[in-house]
Structure 1
Amino acid sequence: MTNTVWMRGVEWLAAASADPRACKWGWDHGDGVALLEAGRYWDVLSVPDRLGLLTLDLLWRPALPVPGPTLVDTTAGRVGFFLPPDPSGGWVGAGLRYATKGSWVAVPPPYRPARALEWLVPPDGSGALHAPGTLEEALQQANGALAVLAPMCGR
């Protein structure tokens, strides 16, 4: 990622903060994590890491656009996909968590990890997010693959 893309990503992400300047200062001088409210610019669908990592792999197909911002929390074992805001929160499934208006998401800056949080696909500042239909299809494919693999892996 070029420096310009990083800076656009920083500005885009910090815009979700009540105080973007304080948010950016905290990334650089604080603990490197900001709590940002979902529901205004984006929502986050959080899934178990095995499902999320396989889903992201399926989204990296040449026929598809580059996936939207995607965050991993290695301590919690979760992958978060940034989606357009959807107040209905229509995502239902075992292990799925949906953060929308009134929910807060811990995020590092786009240019480096902080604690257990790391961008797998950092925001590029364009506002591009995961397309809900494309993400749902990839999640279903990944879930099907994991269901087949689970008995072979003893899980």
Structure 2
Amino acid sequence: MHSVRWKQAVEWLAAAATDPQECKRQWDRGQGTALLAAGRYWDVLSVPDRLGLLALDLLWQDPLELPGPTLVDVTARRVGFFLPTDPGSEWVGFGVRHVSRGSWVAVPPPYRPAGRLEWLVPPDGNGTLHAAEPLERALRRATGTLAVLAPVSADPAVADRW
């Protein structure tokens, strides 16, 4: 069952590559990531990791809204939410980047991490993506929570004195 799901996820992801067959060969050889075109099948909303991890946790709390593919870059400290393409959308917030048509995203295969990139929620192979409205609600709630916590933890030197 899992191998069928991974195969579907690989096909779905590789479809966004310039050369899907070469993309799959590189992943099979364990050669890390592939650059995939955003804005064709999906966009990516990239946010700072603390915000993204908290928002993802909030999304998991709703049993009716399963999260879509979510990628973490542990070095850049960013979380990327894969969502439907929407050239007219405007995502606004500190550190928020909407990656769409004309941009590329480094993506590991769905079945293993590659260097600094790892799937928090791998693609399911059916094209499931984050719905924009629940994602926006979760990000707003997470922002509010972090705003309350920020004054306490903003300056590590001060926090060490407590």
2:9 aligned with 1:9:
yes
The residue number in structure 2 matching 1:114 is 114
Deviations 1:79-133 (A, max 9, x none): 0000000112411111001110000000000000001000000001111100000
How is 1:36-55 mapped onto 2 (pairs within 5 angstroms)? 36-55=36-55
Distance across 2 between alignment mates of 1:150 and 1:62? 26
The residue number in structure 1 matching 2:160 is none
CA RMSD of aligned residues (A): 1.3
How is 1:2-151 mapped onto 2 (pairs within 5 angstroms)? 2-29=2-29, 31-151=31-151
Distance across 2 between alignment mates of 1:124 and 1:46? 20
Give me the TM-score of the superposition, normalised by structure 1: 0.95
SS at match of 2:86: coil
Higher radius of gyration, 1 or 2: 2
One-letter amino acid of the counterpart of residue 28, structure 2: D
Percent identity of the aligned residues?
67
How many angstroms does 1:18 deviate by?
1.8
Tell which deviates more after alignment, 54-63 or 109-118: 54-63
Tell which deviates more after alignment, 82-91 or 94-103: 82-91
SS at match of 1:55: helix
Distance across 2 between alignment mates of 1:154 and 1:18? 42
Moved over 6 A (4+): none
Distance across 1 between alignment mates of 2:64 and 2:90? 23
SS at match of 1:125: coil
C-alpha contact (below 8 Å) 1:110/1:119 kept by paired residues: yes
Task: Note the residue ranges of structure 1 that are not aligned, 5 or more in a row.
Answer: none
SS at match of 1:51: helix
Deviations 1:18-46 (A, max 9, x none): 21110011112252200000001000000
